[in-house]
Amino acid sequence: MLIGDKMKIEKCPECNGKIIIKNEEYILLGFNLGKFKTMICGNCGLKLYDEETMDKIDIVAKKLGLWGLESKTKLNELGNSLAIRLNKNLVNLLKLKKGEEIIIYPENKNKLIVEIPDS
């Protein structure tokens, strides 16, 4: 959760618990972006970041190519099957190659999981 640049939070906005400040690892899409100043509720565990910290996190995420990975795509018909197209940024990040085998299965009615087996 992002908070204002100059705000000092002492109580959690969710549960009113005490906020402690620590340097914690920030994980985005499974990638560790490094340690950043994090305000953490000692009661419910909510993590808060100020604008300056979020700007630093954004810079690292962009350098690692983790920006612009979400996109809409259409299903294509391929014989009796449907094919899913992946955007170039996602293909490059995951180092996917044409003809490579992946594993796909439903997590639930509205979500598919795609796994890339270890080589």
Q: Are residues 35 and 81 in the same domain?
A: no
Residue 114 near residue 102 (C-beta atoms within 8 A): yes
| pTM across the whole model | 0.67
Return mean pLDDT, the chain.
90
Which domain range does residue 11 map to?
2-63
Q: How confident is the model at residue 34 (pLDDT cuts 50, 70, 90)?
A: very high
What's the pLDDT score for residue 50? 92
Q: Are residues 11 and 58 in the same domain?
A: yes
CA dist., res. 32 & res. 52, Å (int)? 19
DSSP designation for 35: E
Q: Are residues 49 and 87 in the same domain?
A: no
Q: Are residues 11 and 59 in the same domain?
A: yes
Q: Where are the alpha helices (DSSP H) in 1-119?
A: 51-63, 88-94
pLDDT above 80 (res 8): no
Q: What number is the average pLDDT over the span 48-61?
A: 94
